[in-house]
């Protein structure tokens, strides 16, 4: 029994999560396999989506599995790195997007600028998404630097803009950011993605986030054994 919370021996033991409920585990693994089969998205695209989401949800087991999966599917280091930057910029933008709430509340308390977003009954609104660059009110230099980084991440590179958009859509769902979901859905449509492809991308995010929860269950199994000893 390992003393490490994240031990490499946990990943190959993933299947043992069925000890507490075989029927549910079997159904999850059947779903997981179906998600990552060739479909409207290729196995290679799905592997890159999985790699990016694995980083976004900070699952070391998933990162190892899908680094290997992306390599086996034919992606190179530059493509994988760009996928990770998509995850980084979408997750980072999510933090700044939520910062609009902080700006509005600060302005309501008499601090900041009249240009800050108004505090309304809705925590999230489409108007706030269109005005997200107001986050620069609090620190213009840092905000502008981030937006330059964001723009460069989605430029054509080792991955196409279309590939980056489908990866970004999955990450946006995995971090539950309504602004990012709207923005990345529009980017996918603008770069020619179909509804079926976008839906498969969201299922890949679902499978990784669910798998990340289950593989962490190996720690639960180990702790249960410790208590029983």
Residue-wise over 98-133: b if at least 16 C-beta within 10 A, else e? ebbeebbebbeeeebeeebbeeeeeebbeebbeebe
Is the distance from CB of 120 to CB of 89 less than 8 angstroms?
Answer: no
Closest listed residue to residue 153, CA positions, set 85, 53, 225:
85
**Rounded to 5 degrees, what angle do the CA atoms 98, 103, 107 make?**
155
How far lies 210's CA from each of 50, 157, 185, in Å?
A: 12, 30, 22
In a domain, 2, yes or no: no
In a domain, 121, yes or no: yes
Q: Where is 8: in which H helix or E strand?
A: none
Half-sphere exposure in the Cβ direction for 88 (13 Å, CA): 14
In a domain, 157, yes or no: yes
pLDDT value, residue 112: 59
d(CA 67, CA 65) in angstroms, rounded, equals 6
Number of domains making up the chain: 1
Q: How many residues belong to the chain?
A: 229
pLDDT value, residue 134: 63
Q: What are phi and psi of 103, to 5 degrees?
A: -60, -45
136: domain range?
A: 8-228
In a domain, 165, yes or no: yes
What's the CATH number where 223 sits? Answer: 1.20.1290.10
In a domain, 108, yes or no: yes
Is the distance from CB of 26 to CB of 143 less than 8 angstroms?
Answer: no
In a domain, 162, yes or no: yes
pLDDT value, residue 196: 98
In a domain, 3, yes or no: no
- Per-residue pLDDT tens listing for the chain (229 residues): 556 667 777 777 777 778 878 899 899 999 999 999 999 999 999 999 999 999 999 999 999 999 999 999 999 999 999 999 999 999 998 888 777 777 777 767 776 555 655 656 565 666 665 566 666 666 778 888 999 999 999 999 999 999 999 999 999 999 999 889 999 999 999 999 999 999 999 999 999 999 998 888 778 877 877 787 5
| pTM for the full predicted model | 0.86
First to last CA, the chain: 12
In a domain, 126, yes or no: yes
């Amino acid at each position: 029994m390992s003393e490490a919370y994240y031990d490499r021996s946990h990943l190959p033991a993933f299947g043992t999560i069925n000890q507490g409920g075989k029927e549910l585990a079997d159904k999850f693994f059947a779903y997981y396999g179906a998600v990552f089969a060739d479909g409207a998205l290729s196995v290679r695209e799905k592997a890159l989506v999985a790699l990016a989401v694995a980083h976004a949800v900070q699952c070391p087991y998933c990162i190892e599995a899908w680094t290997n999966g992306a390599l086996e599917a034919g992606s190179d280091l530059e493509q994988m790195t760009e996928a990770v930057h998509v995850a980084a910029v979408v997750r980072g933008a999510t933090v700044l997007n939520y910062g609009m709430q902080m700006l509005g509340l600060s302005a309501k308390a008499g601090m900041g600028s009249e240009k800050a977003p108004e505090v309304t009954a809705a925590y999230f609104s489409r108007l706030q998404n269109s005005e997200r660059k107001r986050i620069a009110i609090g620190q213009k230099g840092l905000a502008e630097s981030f937006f330059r980084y964001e723009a460069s991440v989605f430029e054509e590179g080792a991955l196409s803009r279309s590939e980056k958009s489908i990866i970004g859509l999955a990450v946006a769902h995995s971090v539950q950011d309504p602004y990012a979901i709207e923005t990345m859905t529009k980017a996918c449509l603008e770069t020619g993605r179909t509804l079926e492809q976008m839906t498969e991308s969201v299922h890949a995010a679902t499978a990784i986030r669910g798998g990340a929860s289950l593989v962490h269950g190996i720690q639960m199994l180990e702790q249960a054994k410790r208590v029983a000893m």
